[in-house]
Amino acid sequence: MSEQIKVKSDTSPNSSNPVKIQPAKTKSDGAGNARNRIYVRAVKGIYQSVRQRMGLVCMLSFLILPWLQYQGQQAILFDLANQQFRIFAVTFWPQDLLLLAFIFIIAAFALVLVTTFIGRVWCGYMCPQTVWTFIFIWFEEKIEGTRHQRMKLDQQPMTGKKAFKKIAKHACWIGFSLFTSLTFIGYFVEIGHLFIDFFTFSAGWLVSFWVLFFTVCTYGNAGWMREIMCTHICPYARLQSAMFDKDTYTVAYNPARGENRGPRSRKADPKTLGLGDCIDCNLCVQVCPTGIDIRNGLQYECINCGACIDACDGVMDKMGYQRGLISYTTERQLSGGFTRLFRTKLFAYSIILVVLIALFTTTLLSRTPFDLDIIRDRNQLFRENFSGEIENTYTLKVLNQSQTTVTYHLSLSELASEYKWIGEKSITVSAGQVESIPVTLAVDPSLLSDTRNDFYFVITMKSGQDKPVTLYEESRFFKGR
C-alpha cells in the first residue's frame, strides 16, 4: 500500500504557491445550464499527432471492417438472431463461450498491465469516448472557430449568424452520430441492406430503434457530456489509484523546476526574479479535455492524452527554456530517484497475461469446425429384439460450424467386436445448420462385458484436399441385467 500514489482532486495545490487558474470554463448560452462548459483549445505537438493518427486508425478500422466481404458474404458479422459470430472463415457459436470469456479476461489483464506501466494511455489515445469527443470538437472548430471565438460566440445574443452556426454544428454532430450508429449496427445486421432499408423506412422496428438509440447516445456522450463520461460515469477513473504506483508513468508537472511561477518577458532571467520556469500562462488548462490543472498534481480526471505536454513544450520553446516541465514521468523520478522499470507487479501481470494468451490460443487451435450432440431415447434405455440382440437408440445432432456444406461420416469405437448399425452412416449439413439422424445399435449380449458399456461415436469430416478432421463423443450402451 505504501507504493500507491494518492490521487488528488483538482482543487488541492501541489505546492506552497497556490495555482492561479484563469477562467477555463465559461457558461454556455441558455438559462438554467447546470454545468459549466469546457472550451478545449487546439494544440499541436508530437503527442497530439500520435493521438490523432491512432484515433484515425481506430475510426477507419471501425468504419471499414463491416464492409469487408469474404466468399460472397459479410466477413465480420455478429448475428445475434441466429446465435453465430462470423469472422472471415470461422464461425463461432454459443458453445464457444469459453473463447469469449478468454478474450474479456485477456483484455482486462492487458489494460491493468498497461495502466500499471504507463497510466491511462488507453483513455487518452484509443478510448472511443475520447476519439468521438475530439471529432466533435473538430466540427466545432471548423464551424464556430477557435476556443476564443467559440467563447465569444456563446456570450453573444442570438442572431441569424449565430443560429446558422449552431444549427450547422448540431446537424454535423447528429449526421455523424447516425452514420457511426448505422455502422455499429452493421456489425450485427447485414450492412449491405441496412443503410438502404433504414433510409427507405423498410427496416424492422427493432433495428430502427437500436440505430436511433445509439445515435442519441453518441450525440449526447460526445457532444454534451464529454468529460462527464470520463470523470463521473466511467469506473476506470476510480480504479486507477489501485493500479498506479510510484513507478507508473503519468503526465505530471515538475514543481521543483516550475515554482515559483509567474509571468515575465522572454529576456528576463527567472532566477533573478525568483521564479521557476512556469510562466503561469494556463495553456495547460485550456487544452485539457477534462478541464483540470495538471500543476495541482495527479488527479483522477487526467486521461494521459499529453495535450498539456505539447502546449507546455511549445511555450518552453518560445521562452528558450528546456522542454519537459510537464512530461510523462513517475512519482519516484520527480522525487529525485530512479524509475524501476522491472518490478514484481509488472512481472506478475505479464506472466498471467502470457499464460492466458497461451490458453486462449490452445483452445482456439483445438476447436473443431463441427460438433456432435448425442441424445438417448428417454422412453426406453434398451430393448431386446427378435434375434436376442440388445438395442439402444440414439439421436445424433450434427452442427456444421463452418461456412460451407459438408458431408460427415459416422462410426463407432470401443463398443464391441461386432455390432449392427441401423440407420444412415453419413449426413450432409449446410453451413451453419444442425441436422439430426436417428441411429439404433444392436449388439449380442454375450459380447458385452458390463450392464453399462462406455464407447465413442466417431464423426469424421473430409473437405477437399484438407486433412480429415475427426471428433470423438462419449456415450453409453446399456445391456440391462
Rounded to an integer, the average pLDDT of 200-207 is 92
Q: What is the pLDDT of residue 414?
A: 86
Boundaries of domain holding 178: 30-99+117-233
More confident residue, 426 or 12: 426
Least confident of 24-28, 164-168, 225-229, 431-435: 24-28
Question: In 219-254, which ranges are continuous DSSP H helix?
Answer: 227-228, 236-243
User: Residues 277, 264: contact at Cβ < 8 Å?
Assistant: no
Q: At what angle do helices 160-185 and 128-144 cross, to 10 degrees?
A: 150
Q: Report the CATH number that the domain containing residue 429 is assigned in CATH.
A: 2.60.40.10
**Distance in angstroms (rounded) separating the CA atoms of residues 320 and 267:** 9
Evaluate whether 221 touches 136 at the Cβ level (below 8 Å): no
If one compares 364 and 21, the residue with the highest pLDDT of the two is 364
Residue 124 lies in a domain: yes
Domain membership of residue 295 (yes or no) is: no
Residue type, 427: I
Q: Which amino acid is at 461?
A: M
| Residue 88 Ramachandran class (φ > 0 left, ψ -120 to 50 alpha, else beta) | left
- The DSSP string of 181-205 is HHHHHTTTTTHHHHHHHHHTT-S-H
Residue 137 has pLDDT above 80, yes or no: yes
Q: How much is the pLDDT for 83? A: 81
Please give the mean pLDDT across all residues of the chain.
87
pLDDT band at 192 (very low <50, low <70, confident <90, very high): confident
| pLDDT over 90 at 437, yes or no | yes
- pLDDT tens digits for range 43-88: 999 999 999 999 999 999 999 999 999 888 899 999 888 888 888 8
- Proportion of the chain above pLDDT 70, given as a percent: 92
**16 has pLDDT over 90:** no
Alpha carbon of residue 335 to chain centroid = 35
Other Cβ atoms closer than 10 A to 270:
17
Chain-centroid distance of CA 394 in Å reads: 44
Q: Which of 202, 233, 264 is the last residue of a domain?
A: 233
Mean pLDDT of 363-374: 87
Confidence at residue 458, expressed as pLDDT on a 0 to 100 scale:
94
Q: Quickly state the pLDDT bin for 34 (edges 50, 70, 90).
A: very low
Q: What is the Cβ-side half-sphere exposure of residue 404, based on CA atoms within 13 angstroms?
A: 11
Cell (9 digits) for 403: 461456412
Task: Indicate the number of domains in the chain.
Answer: 2
**In this model, does residue 29 exceed pLDDT 50?**
no
One-letter identity of residue 363: T
**Phi, psi (5° rounding) for residue 2?**
-70, -20
Cβ 297 vs Cβ 334: under 8 Å: no
Q: Is the pLDDT of residue 31 over 80?
A: no
Least trusted range by pLDDT, from 7-11, 102-106, 156-160: 7-11
Is 25 within a domain?
no
Q: C-alpha distances in angstroms, 420 versus 259, 380, 428, 436, 470?
A: 91, 19, 22, 20, 22
Kindly state the cell numbers that stand for 154. Answer: 456563446
Mean pLDDT across 353-361: 94
Establish if 226 belongs to a structural domain.
yes
Of 233, 248, 275, the position where a domain reaches its end is: 233
Q: What is the DSSP letter of 172?
A: H
Q: How many Å is the Cα radius of gyration of the chain?
A: 32
| Contact between residue 326 and residue 307 where contact means Cβ atoms under 8 Å apart | no
Which residues have C-beta within 8 Å of that of residue 356, sequence separation ≥ 6?
Answer: 102, 105, 106, 109
Structure confidence at residue 76 (pLDDT): 93
How does pLDDT run across 270-296, given as a tens digit for each residue? 888 999 999 999 999 999 999 899 999
- pLDDT value of residue 465: 58
Please list the helix, strand and coil fractions of the chain in percent, rounded to the nearest 5, in that order: 45, 20, 35
Residue 18 has pLDDT above 60, yes or no: no
The amino acid that residue 459 corresponds to is I
For the segment 26-43, the average pLDDT, to the nearest whole number, is 60
Judged against a pLDDT cut of 60, whether residue 317 lies above it is answered with yes
Binning pLDDT at 50, 70 and 90, where does residue 319 land? very high
Span 230-241, mean pLDDT?
81
Q: Which of these three, 233, 256, 288, is where a domain ends?
A: 233
Res 463: pLDDT: 66
| pLDDT band of 175, cuts 50, 70, 90 | very high
Q: What average pLDDT does range 103-112 have in this prediction?
A: 92
What was the pLDDT predicted at 432?
78
Whether the pLDDT of residue 11 is over 80: the answer is no
Mean pLDDT of 344-349: 90
Is 123 within the bounds of a domain? yes
In a domain, residue 465? The reply is: yes
Asked if the model's pLDDT at residue 3 lies above 60, the reply is: no
| Percent of the chain residues topping a pLDDT of 90 | 57
Residue 6's pLDDT is what? 53
**In the numeric block, which cell numbers belong to residue 380?**
426406453
Assigned C-alpha cell, 465: 484436399
Residue 379 in grid coordinates: 422412453
| Maximum Cα interatomic distance, the chain, rounded to a whole number of Å | 114
Is 265 within a domain? no
Better-scored residue on pLDDT, 108 or 96: 108
Q: CB under 8 Å to 180, separation ≥6 — which residues?
A: 62, 63, 132, 214, 218
The pLDDT score that the predictor gives to residue 13 is 40
More confident residue, 15 or 187: 187
Q: How confident is the model at residue 39 (pLDDT cuts 50, 70, 90)?
A: very high
User: For residue 343, is pLDDT > 80?
Assistant: yes
Tell me if 223 is assigned to some domain: yes
